[in-house]
Structure 1
């Protein structure tokens, strides 16, 4: 049976020591977020993850969701009770505004505890995750009346939310969507069409489901310029806030999926359903992108979370499973064989997972902090810089961390050998669950194109230049620090490769756009490697300084941190040179073969 222990100590190290979260006490929601509160909240979240969410993860995968004859959907046994406990603890509204029943705490803290909860039960955590994204869209683009009608119940978890984009013929290219909206003269619209792959589209865990639906108003322009966003509740809401009649929206079928069986992925049918415009006519994409960006950060966390729990289980198995002898001589002479953790290939897998998990955790929390600064700081320049970084990092965090989450789930499964292929050991579920994160909320190839095509040139390259300057300044400031030279020199080399590839795109992609498309995926991963390397260098600096001061109560933890940091620099960072070489070969050999030859 799988095991899970929330990595609280590592989270607190990143928040307190690396990011220095107390320095942001002047921002709303941060004033009381000192070490004591952080420790209390993360410890309680760990308890919920380990004792409430995790126990129903494996059973939820095995049981799955069931669609009844009346088109209602039943979630797996234990899911509703776990969800109710999660909501009653205030976790869904942790970072939501207090005026709507939330606690107003930082999004950074929400991200930290979400990692534990997703590791414990990814499928279950998709229900509140989608709700939080829907809340964000309503708060930013909804009217005051819409906010008052829907948000308090959603923050409480009494109602949940969804996002409805994809149609059978229309995925990434939303300009092709056909769902139509017909004005009714009273401010409402009749929504008709079909959406597919709708996570949490129908279930029995909340009293109402608030669907956010993209549709085209009759007579609107073709393409993405004619798309609007609508609030379509499962049950109509009366003026006094009570629930009224069932709306014309139903679950036509449940998708039969590779993983996340505990989440209801639905075909949703809209048959003259009543909907309400949010964000203005033909302005639907702007409103939906609020939700999509929130979701992309959450999906990046899913990659990290699955990578973490897969690693924990592989490490435990490797310590216990005996097989063969160490190449350097027996390490357990009292046993007939050594634990497999002595073998270099097993160590390669475990150290790779560990290095990306710990570096990725810092990357995710640093990115979440940019979101808080962008939305909460009273310094206009700080908001602009943070918003730039957030936009730049979102496709990288989503694309790189979900690719790595799947890779690491497979690595962990490999550590188990044949047992990893047997369902009762639980490793198959992590592989199956992790796979979707690379696909939904914009497939990772699309994230790479977004990075190169939109995020790099945005505002004249302001974001990428600021980040390059920040990483370069860190290397320069610490150049004379002998204890850090092994980190800063390697980081600077990776940064040089990234800058050179960026310049290559500038020189070769304008005249031949396929060069950008051909190199974008390698570029995204190179960027992720460098940013995580930057996080590792910052963590190493903190660890070295504390160890040099002496008498640290966490000496072993910090020494292990430095060992893992050196592994990342030695074994992972050199990959930037490979990625750079591939980028600079351009698109010719990739695009030359005629389509009919495939």
Structure 2
């Protein structure tokens, strides 16, 4: 059976020693009185909920899956899921970072994201039920009317009601301009909505009293394409004027997807048959509201793979220390046993270190982005809000694609550590691999994220935002450039920082002549950019560790951090050279291939 221990020490290191989040938080009026002890205490209790309540349900939930009653369209979640959700509500976890105006606790978003990392490690399928609610809550808070906010947000904050996002249709996924779901005005401020949506996570379940679906649909006079998409609230049950639940709405689950992973989450085919909904925002401007939810979901999906990477590493490490197999190449290490633990073998250590480096690098990036989101929404300085939003927009596709790509690599490697036992359900490793694979697909495939990064976030403003991140690297290089102990970390990112300018300009020039060049280079480009970002954070983590060691701190945590940083720069960061070379190979070798596909 798999186990999970919340990585509280590393979380505290990232928050308090690396990024000094309390300094940033205390510049925001609503967090001015918050202290590190409170943050740490909340994290500790959140870790207990994740490891003691959710983790024991992960393997059983995967094996049992969800069940749908054909007559009533009702969906039952695996045994224990509903009870765990009740504990989640009773513990106030749903309201952690929500607005006090709607019954929330008003704690920082960064705290909520770290809590959700632990939930994802413990049980990603379960975590998707409340996780999607946060995105729906954010979209309604930003774009809903006062009446809509009063009707829905209090119950969504408490967790009594959950949320879903209904985008994908059988004939269209990311290209939402092709959708066919129709919305017909009823003359009383409501709309009747008809259509079919698929792949709707948490679209129907038994864990909450109501489900607030955010649905994309077209008005009868809508212009074609993405400019004709509107956003609607479609509750599972109608809500009466006094806030109580009324009759069942015309939206139901027509089937559950039989899928590769996340079996404990209900992935639904949803049919809207004259369902009554209300418009969110302006007609034909639905993507404005939905992008709030989608961007939150993209950060959330990165967090899912971060959680899986961490728990895969923990279990693979424990197995590698216990499993004996062959002798070390340098001679026996455990002479009292018939063979040595497999952790003595270099390639086993490589797989473990890969997972550890990707988990800890991902945690640093995720925490940094969570603070950018906090500052974008709540910092009193308008320039800080603007700059934070711009930087977050650049980093969001990297969080989603780079961390999930790395999660797939890490969970696969950790399964490999188990050998044949990794292939067996009872160890839990094959579930982590299956669950990790979806994260590269939904909320915009990783190719879509790569196109977004290169096309929209970099080339569209001639690399201006990318250069702003480059300045962070430049500041670190200037600060530590003459420190010989930092050379192995500083030199690689300094060189790559210089290369990125030329690399980006070259890709942009080729794309100006042939737009296919963006598509041909984008995935490789994101890998390079991802390593540039991870490299920056790993260099900073090494900087902190070296300073602590130099000061006489004997905590082996810092030695381990330094050793992992060395591994990252020696074994993982060099991928950038290959990725730049393949990106430069251009579109012709891909597109001039008609004979291959004839």
Short-chain TM bin: over 0.9
Offset of residue 90 of structure 1: 1.7
Q: Paired residue for 2:584?
A: 584
Pair 1:236-2:227 in alignment: no
Decide which of 176, 182, 194 is 1:192's aligned counterpart. Answer: 194
Measured in 2, the distance between the counterparts of 1:432 and 1:575 equals 25
Q: 1:448 is matched with which residue: 405, 425, 450?
A: 450
Matched-pair contact (CA < 8 Å) for 1:498–1:580:
no
TM-score w.r.t. the length of structure 1 is 0.98
**CA-CA distance at 1:28 after TM superposition:** 3.8
Map 1:123-134; keep pairs closer than 5 Å: 123-134=125-136
Do 1:494 and 1:573's aligned partners in 2 also have CA atoms closer than 8 Å?
no
Shift of 1:591: 1.1
Structure 2 counterpart of 1:309? 311
Number of residues paired by the alignment? 596
Give the match for residue 575 of structure 1.
Answer: 575
Deviates more, 1:472-481 or 1:444-453: 472-481
Give, in angstroms, the shift of residue 473 of structure 1: 2.0
| Counterpart check, 1:143 vs 2:137 | no
- Counterpart residue number, 1:439: 441
Q: Which residue of 2 aligns with 1:27?
A: 28
Cα deviation, residue 569, structure 1: 1.1
* 2:42 maps to 1:11: no
Match of 1:413 in 2: 415
Q: Does 1:564 align with 2:564?
A: yes
Output the CA distance in 2 between the equivalents of 1:502 and 1:315: 39
Q: Which residue in 2 is equivalent to 1:476? A: 478
Q: Is the 8 A contact 2:358 2:410 kept in 1?
A: no
Select 2:216's aligned residue among 214, 223, 232. Answer: 214
Displacement after TM superposition at 1:459 (Å):
4.2
* Structure 1 stretch displaced more, 269-278 or 501-510: 501-510
Aligned partner of 2:45 in structure 1 is 44
Q: Distance in 1 between matches of 2:267 and 2:381?
A: 42
Q: Does 1:278 align with 2:291?
A: no
Structure 1: distance between partners of 2:461 and 2:592: 34
Q: 1:501 aligns with which of 503, 519, 527?
A: 503
1:123 Cα deviation (Å)?
0.2
**What's the C-alpha RMSD, in Å, of the aligned pairs?**
1.1
Show CA shifts across 1:151-182 (max 9, x none).
01011110000000000001111010000000
Q: Which one of the candidate residues 382, 395, 400 is aligned to 1:380?
A: 382
Of the structure 1 ranges 319-328 and 490-499, higher mean CA displacement relative to structure 2 is found in: 490-499
Question: Which secondary structure does the structure 2 equivalent of 1:337 belong to?
Answer: coil
Moved over 6 A (4+): none
- How far apart are the structure 2 equivalents of 1:17 and 1:529? 22
- What is the match of residue 260 of structure 2? 258
CA distance in 2, matches of 1:258, 1:573: 31
Q: Which residue of 1 aligns with 2:205?
A: 203
1:522 to 516, 520, 524: 524
Hey, what's the Cα distance between the residues in 2 that align with 1:420 and 1:450? 35
Contact residue 401 and residue 449 of structure 2 kept, 8 A: yes
Gaps of 5+ in 2: none
Matched residue, 2:66: 65
The answer for unaligned runs of 5 or more in structure 1 is: none
SS in 2 for 1:456: helix
For 2:463, what is the secondary structure of its paired residue? helix
Q: 1:155 aligns with which of 131, 154, 157?
A: 157
Once the two structures are TM-superposed, the CA of residue 595 in structure 1 deviates from its matched residue by 6.7
> How far off its partner does 1:30 sit?
2.7
Q: Distance in 2 between matches of 1:477 and 1:193?
A: 58
